[in-house]
Structure 1
Amino acid sequence: MRWELRPRGPGPAALAVAWNLWGPLRLPCRPGWRGMTRGLLVRPITGASNQLQNSSSGRYRDTVLLPQTTFPMKLLGRQQPDTELEIQQKCGFSELYSWQRERKVKTEFCLHDGPPYANGDPHVGHALNKILKDIANRYHMMRGSKIHYVPGWDCHGLPIEIKVLSELGGKAQNLSAVEIREKARSFAKAAIEKQRSAFIRWGVMADWNNCYYTFDGKYEAKQLRIFYQMYDKGLIYRSYKPVFWSPSSRTALAEAELEYNPEHVSRSIYVKFPFLKPSPKLASLIDGSSPISFIVWTTQPWTIPANQAVCYMPDAKYAVVKCSGSGDLYILAADKVTSVASTLKTSFEVISTFSGADLENGTCAHPLMPDKVSPLLPANHVTMTKGTGLVHTAPAHGMEDYSIASQHNLPTDCLVDEDGVFTAVAGPDLHNKAVLEEGTDVVIKMLQAAKTLLKEEKVVHSYPYDWRTKKPVVIRASKQWFVNITDLKATAKDLLKKVNFIPGSALNAMVEMMDRRPYWCISRQRVWGVPIPVFHHKTKDEFLINSQTIEHIIKLVEQHGSDIWWTLPPEQLLPKEVLSQVGGPDALEYVPGQDILDIWFDSGTSWSYVLPGTDQRADLYLEGKDQLGGWFQSSLLTSVAARKKAPFKTVVVHGFTLGEKGEKMSKSLGNVIDPDVVINGGEDQSTEPPYGADVLRWWVAESNVFTEVTISPSVLHAARDDISKLRNTLRFLLGNVAGFNPETDSIPVNDMYVIDQYMLHLLQDLANKITDSYKQYDFGKVVRLLRAFYTRELSNFYFSIIKDRLYCENASDPKRRSCQTALAEILDVIARSFAPILPHLAEEVFQHMPYSKEPKSVFRTGWINTSSIWKKPGLEEAVESACAMRDAFLGSIPGKNAAEYQVTIVIEPGLLFEIIEMLQAEETSSTSQLNELMMASQTTLLPQEPLEIAAGVTELKGTFLINLEGGDIREESSYKVLVAPTTKEKCPRCWKYTAESSDTLCPRCAEVVGGK
């Protein structure tokens, strides 16, 4: 549309949205035009019906139909949380899950709950996760699906064990495994109760009496069955391999239990490895009379005593260089000559260069043991990004090192024990010294004494830490149980291609994490967990596990829980038929193993316990992004191993909760937001007011949860303001459907006012978009669509137009009933649209519906209902063309009362005139649909300009392009809007300027009052 506004006036005025008793004052235009930017002037205006509503005097006050409802405009202070608790009781929140399970419906929606850790108080991360799940469940339930949602808790593991032991202090030393387990169980149970009551308070729908717990005997028994299935297929094996080891926790850790500290400081060293025997190819290049050394760099000096080889890159170029200072000869990568010389504060003269492949079959001497030979070996993991292009290889202390050792049959001797200290095998100088502290110092001094240390310098780099103790880990070889994920990865990746990931980028992230994982260590050297059900021979390196032993243990665990591993004597843990084969009860050759299963294996097998049926897949897994390497992955790998299926159809991944400036939440920063304080308020309620659970839920829904999610007092305050505006909209709707019965008073759609039909047309479009957004789990879009609709389309546009018709016509006038028909439909659609997000407010609205004798729960009456006959695209041209003229008029009287003016609209004969004529059949009217839209005293519609235009009339010109039937009908028409002050007086009842004198009623009001 092209615009010509004359006179333009003083430019766009800032919109002052005044929220009065029944909602905000109106905008002069309806924003959100279809596909065109229409450059409208936005000005605050007033209208007679708005002034009328605020008037408490006048002899005709009792004849005006003002809104009637007991729905409160605001819930102040404690009223919000108290009302929510009342609604939870009154509307049967606790029975809703079991009610919907009993319905006879065809479809089921299964959301499998990833178990939160039973460790500590509920926090905003829990709120984000549980509320997102609840919104999804409530939506699918309202759409008619039976919801399968069993909440669970992850109850085992090191963090709980550490907390229990730290609380006991010195007494912990004397506790038996059974005592530690008892105390850990009590601790977990207490945490579960705190979290459960918080989740219920947030309005999360579930059967809270039937949850799953990883310490439940029946759960543990299912988990052991999966373990044996995988063992039996050769997917679980025991091996001596390097693993991430936490000296502070005295246990092996999986990748998912590490966090990387980017500020870790290591003492890096450059070391000489004397060249012993060159390969035949290399012998001709170098003068055999001068000694040559390889320069090797490492950030872990403590691993040098365990060196077994030096690795090189076969495709790279290497150089023999002469040191300008000492005259010594060295070998290093040709690309690293300049940078290494600079670090060593010297210069190198390149004597000759050769290919890495020429090092094949060469050897060098160990830098601490001159008579120990270290072979030179080709390896793909050698890079030129750091160091010298030559890599020190200690097979017991590195995953790649171990891989090289396996290929070349090198020893994998570990010189470090469970406490991270050197063993006696490391020699008297190192024995009992912590490798990351004094042990490193002693190794460096030993290298100095051996004259093989070239340089030591501190380096800041990313280093793995134990996720719970926050202390550095080491890599050390030990006997552990592993899942052979190499055999599972290809199938797992194929299956992931058929899974719907939201956002889509999460799929690649998960595949990358899986690719980086060489193997999965599933054994832990602790007591609070599910035992690995294996018996070890007392003297030989043998173990016992078979279908007979596992079935026996599974039955015992099912009945009594996994404590039996520690409480029953070993002979009772074996079935009689096996016992007789292994020495009998008196001379038993085997003892129960002391390892427990990784808690990621615990929780990763939850699908086998929770999902009904052996082939069942959950419709949805929804967790934080850390689970791409954690629960999502352990669930996938165990499900693929056991049944060659992914356990999920859709995976939704959300970000972490952060403070206002994007910083992590921590007690030390003082930016931790407690969900309980959000709901019930803090000690000082002037700074921490009680917002109730719905504000928390709105914050969750409106956030872009696919990235990091910020929360702060200002964010919560804004959420409360949004809900307040929504309440006002709802109050206006409820108040104006008083005395209306949809069953008997509704007007057929085709007989309704055009503007009312137009609102139903917009409402159907809104309902479709909202439904689609819920389907995509894009709850932020639901909030944006709703907010735009109730502020722009309703409060600022529709409500401002219809007040006169609602308040001043006869109660049962079809014009008024037309409007109420639209309002009732709008109320129903809006309430159902936000119900999954704000269940307390939705139920409160349903309790106040004036035409419901027995209010039903919004959740027991289904999803949004719209009618296809609401869809009337042609209406948009009628309303929007009239709005174009309305905006020209209102733009010319900034800040003035529109009812004090009369408007003449001149349109050349044609399609536009015919469309506008639908809104006003007679030439001049103060009660037509067109005049209602204009909000003027009266509107005149003419096909040609009047012969005389009085002085003082403002003339505005414009054109409007009509585009119907997908472009088949296109016509551009000109129009003029003539604005003049009204010649009539203000009616004492409706306050419109339509009366002959100030003390007589206008014709419309006289008719209405006379009728009464």
Structure 2
Amino acid sequence: MLLLCRVSAAGRTLRRWGSQRDGGGLLHRALSFSSGRCQGAGPGEGGAQPAEDSAQARYRDTVLLPRTDFPMKLTGQKLLDRELQIQQECGFADLYSWQRARKAKKEFCLHDGPPYANGDPHVGHALNKILKDIRNRFEMLRGRQVHYIPGWDCHGLPIELKALGELGTSGLSPLQIRQKAREFAVGAIARQKAAFQRWGVMADWDKCYYTFDGAYEAAQLKVFQEMHSKGFIYQDYKPVFWSPSSRTALAEAELEYNPEHVSRAIYATFPLVTLPPDIASEEGVSVLVWTTQPWTIPANQAVCYMPNAKYSVVKREDNSQLLLVAAERTASLSALLGTELQIVATFTGSQLQGGVCKHPTIPEKQVPLLPANHVTMAKGTGLVHTAPAHGMDDYSVASHFKLSVECMVDEDGKFTEMAGPDLQDLAVMTEGTDKVISMLKACGALIKEEQCVHSYPYDWRTKQPVVIRPSKQWFINTESLKDKAKDALQKVRVLPESARGGLLAMLDKRTYWCISRQRSWGVPIPVFYHKETGDALINNSVLLLLKAF
């Protein structure tokens, strides 16, 4: 209403000004003519209005509307048709080939990580593609030729899961699974590609790459052959991140960490049966350990200590129990247990050498006290329960001291027969944990239980927690490539520069990369296995034969 009043006032001012200047001549006629057109009257037909409409006409005559064929509003299919018409008339599809044909001194090449062909386009695709398209167009405006060939990652677990849906793999042969997965990927590619083009993304849409193309797979096998010939590929039985929900091994890049994961952390005792010389006078001493994964206790093979740290034998005021803990953890443990801990003796960790503990849940099993550099004093007791089958650091200790690696967990994340009849077939993360804790309570080894909120690895596809379990897998020895990778990284411009340190730290930390997956849809590891022994046959002749197909 305010705007209408201001327009009306402006119209009256113009009319008064026009009357004073030309006696209501040209300007008045122009305004009257325009008003007549707005009312639907032709020139010469916009005469006086009836008296009853004079007030309404006075306001209407002051609004001058433009005359255009452009529609005020389009919705539904008309809007889509109009946008497509604009794209076609403006030559959106020809922009990429046009800029490639023009002369330019420099080329800008965008290596775009391919999206998975596992579903319909969504807002994440739009954000990714449009932002990159803005950069490409900016480089084109700078006079450069843009090189951008889009593609799709057509293999892997995400596609297989989506393709099979609730059917699962039961009753389907590997060939049938591959066929269904390929059909699903082809359909997803068609829908995504149409959407990307519809969004006006400038690219070479006639030469897209797809990872399930024979030529692309052959190139992958060639790289595999070169790495194998240089000794970078090997097979080993070692702990890997295992997803029970997907029934496959995962690389670290396929994990996401849930910072609010809740574990049932426990403090448990391992009675000393062979005492180190410096604590031989004290009887009934138990090593106190802390773990957030109680289900790994049955797989324990050792208890680790830090050689250079100080350790103490302490006596509980409430029940006179003797416990072996790190000296600097005594105060926090006293507060946690709600009782005073009286120090009986203190010594260095190296003096614990030769000590042997009794396993709390497996009768007649004994485990040694061993030195290890991965032990920390930030949490727990300064003594680490060690299960080589279910921890990377634990496995390193086992390899150094020649300990056995016993896996009691199957591919579904359940205890096997090896864990005993009380635990067999129980899911380790749920009812298996409940049972282990009840067993520790029954034998008097459980000192304290608490809820621990911490960061824990999850399968980034199924959003379910993973476990660490040993499995015979194929690996790339990234340790031998580390130095070359660091040298190459120094030549790369990193934005922001502060991120370079994180990349270098990652190269130091990851000494191997698990590349095998227990799936049917993907580029296979080019290996033949003996039917009876399971021994692997892999050499250049086999690789060349597979490449030929």
* Bucket of the pairwise TM-score, normalised by the shorter protein: 0.7 to 0.9
2:297 match: secondary structure: helix
Which residue of 2 is the match for residue 225 of structure 1?
222
C-alpha distance in 2, partners of 1:71/1:144? 37
List aligned pairs for 1:725-804, cutoff 5 A: none
RMSD: 2.8
8 Å CA contact 2:116, 2:159 repeated in 1: no
Matched, 1:443 2:436: yes
8 Å CA contact 1:415, 1:423 repeated in 2: yes
Q: Percent of aligned positions with the same letter in both sequences?
A: 61
C-alpha distance in 2, partners of 1:191/1:542? 39
Matched, 1:287 2:281: yes
Which residue of 1 is the match for residue 172 of structure 2?
175
Which residue of 2 is the match for residue 363 of structure 1?
356
1:346 positional shift: 2.3
8 Å CA contact 1:94, 1:207 repeated in 2: no
List aligned pairs for 1:788-937, cutoff 5 A: none
C-alpha distance in 2, partners of 1:220/1:72? 55
Once the two structures are superposed, what CA deviation does each residue of 1:606-644 show, in whole Å capped at 9, x if it has no partner? xxxxxxxxxxxxxxxxxxxxxxxxxxxxxxxxxxxxxxx
In structure 2, give the amino acid aligned to 1:507: R
1:120 positional shift: 1.8
Matched, 1:545 2:538: yes
8 Å CA contact 1:261, 1:465 repeated in 2: yes
1:83 positional shift: 4.9
2:544 match: secondary structure: helix
Change (3 A) 1:72 1:499: farther
C-alpha distance in 2, partners of 1:371/1:168? 46
Which residue of 2 is the match for residue 534 of structure 1?
527
Which residue of 1 is the match for residue 303 of structure 2?
310
Which residue of 1 is the match for residue 156 of structure 2?
157
In structure 2, give the amino acid aligned to 1:123: H
2:427 is aligned, of 410, 413, 434, to: 434
Which residue of 2 is the match for residue 134 of structure 1?
133
1:318 positional shift: 1.0
Matched, 1:408 2:401: yes
In structure 2, give the amino acid aligned to 1:145: R
Which residue of 2 is the match for residue 94 of structure 1?
93
1:242 match: secondary structure: strand
Which residue of 2 is the match for residue 111 of structure 1?
110
C-alpha distance in 2, partners of 1:349/1:482? 50
Which residue of 2 is the match for residue 458 of structure 1?
451
1:187 is aligned, of 172, 184, 188, to: 184
Q: Which has the higher Rg, Structure 1 or Structure 2?
A: 1
In structure 1, give the amino acid aligned to 2:537: L
1:446 positional shift: 2.1
1:336 match: secondary structure: helix
1:524 match: secondary structure: coil
C-alpha distance in 2, partners of 1:513/1:266? 26
Once the two structures are superposed, what CA deviation does each residue of 1:503-532 show, in whole Å capped at 9, x if it has no partner? 333333333333343421111101111110
1:389 match: secondary structure: coil
1:106 positional shift: 4.0
Deviates more, 1:239-248 or 1:268-277: 268-277
8 Å CA contact 1:309, 1:376 repeated in 2: yes
C-alpha distance in 2, partners of 1:322/1:74? 88
Which residue of 2 is the match for residue 324 of structure 1?
317
Matched, 1:263 2:260: yes
Gaps of 5+ in 2: 8-16, 18-24, 32-65
User: Number of matched residues?
Assistant: 496
C-alpha distance in 2, partners of 1:455/1:211? 59
Which residue of 1 is the match for residue 492 of structure 2?
499
Change (3 A) 1:308 1:245: same
List aligned pairs for 1:696-707, cutoff 5 A: none
Which residue of 2 is the match for residue 467 of structure 1?
460
C-alpha distance in 1, partners of 2:179/2:533? 33
In structure 2, give the amino acid aligned to 1:94: A
1:61 positional shift: 7.6
C-alpha distance in 2, partners of 1:216/1:373? 55
Once the two structures are superposed, what CA deviation does each residue of 1:947-992 show, in whole Å capped at 9, x if it has no partner? xxxxxxxxxxxxxxxxxxxxxxxxxxxxxxxxxxxxxxxxxxxxxx
Which residue of 2 is the match for residue 204 of structure 1?
201
In structure 2, give the amino acid aligned to 1:355: T
C-alpha distance in 2, partners of 1:124/1:70? 38
1:276 is aligned, of 254, 260, 273, to: 273
8 Å CA contact 1:359, 1:376 repeated in 2: yes
C-alpha distance in 2, partners of 1:86/1:508? 50
Once the two structures are superposed, what CA deviation does each residue of 1:561-616 show, in whole Å capped at 9, x if it has no partner? xxxxxxxxxxxxxxxxxxxxxxxxxxxxxxxxxxxxxxxxxxxxxxxxxxxxxxxx
C-alpha distance in 2, partners of 1:186/1:539? 35
8 Å CA contact 2:307, 2:371 repeated in 1: yes
8 Å CA contact 2:456, 2:465 repeated in 1: yes
1:114 positional shift: 0.6
C-alpha distance in 2, partners of 1:174/1:235? 37
Change (3 A) 1:387 1:73: farther
1:350 positional shift: 0.8
1:199 positional shift: 0.8
Once the two structures are superposed, what CA deviation does each residue of 1:170-190 show, in whole Å capped at 9, x if it has no partner? xx4211111111111111112
Change (3 A) 1:312 1:247: same
Which residue of 1 is the match for residue 144 of structure 2?
145
Change (3 A) 1:549 1:287: same
C-alpha distance in 2, partners of 1:181/1:527? 6
Change (3 A) 1:329 1:167: closer
2:480 match: secondary structure: helix
C-alpha distance in 2, partners of 1:400/1:57? 94
1:84 positional shift: 3.9
Change (3 A) 1:146 1:276: same
Deviates more, 1:97-106 or 1:323-332: 97-106
2:170 match: secondary structure: helix
1:438 positional shift: 2.0
8 Å CA contact 1:258, 1:465 repeated in 2: yes
1:293 match: secondary structure: strand
8 Å CA contact 2:390, 2:469 repeated in 1: yes
Once the two structures are superposed, what CA deviation does each residue of 1:281-339 show, in whole Å capped at 9, x if it has no partner? x24xx524x21011001111111111111111122211110111221211101111122
C-alpha distance in 2, partners of 1:518/1:238? 14
C-alpha distance in 2, partners of 1:451/1:504? 54
Matched, 1:487 2:480: yes
C-alpha distance in 2, partners of 1:497/1:421? 45
8 Å CA contact 2:272, 2:286 repeated in 1: yes
2:289 is aligned, of 276, 283, 296, to: 296
In structure 1, give the amino acid aligned to 2:294: P
C-alpha distance in 1, partners of 2:86/2:493? 36
Once the two structures are superposed, what CA deviation does each residue of 1:536-566 show, in whole Å capped at 9, x if it has no partner? 122335211111111111121xxxxxxxxxx
8 Å CA contact 1:485, 1:520 repeated in 2: yes
Once the two structures are superposed, what CA deviation does each residue of 1:413-471 show, in whole Å capped at 9, x if it has no partner? 11111111112122222222211122222222222232222222332222211112221
8 Å CA contact 1:237, 1:482 repeated in 2: yes
Once the two structures are superposed, what CA deviation does each residue of 1:727-765 show, in whole Å capped at 9, x if it has no partner? xxxxxxxxxxxxxxxxxxxxxxxxxxxxxxxxxxxxxxx
In structure 2, give the amino acid aligned to 1:425: M
8 Å CA contact 1:275, 1:291 repeated in 2: yes
Once the two structures are superposed, what CA deviation does each residue of 1:865-892 show, in whole Å capped at 9, x if it has no partner? xxxxxxxxxxxxxxxxxxxxxxxxxxxx
8 Å CA contact 1:241, 1:479 repeated in 2: yes
C-alpha distance in 2, partners of 1:262/1:74? 52
1:501 match: secondary structure: coil
In structure 2, give the amino acid aligned to 1:249: S
C-alpha distance in 2, partners of 1:206/1:60? 56
Change (3 A) 1:192 1:357: same
In structure 2, give the amino acid aligned to 1:346: T
C-alpha distance in 2, partners of 1:167/1:194? 22
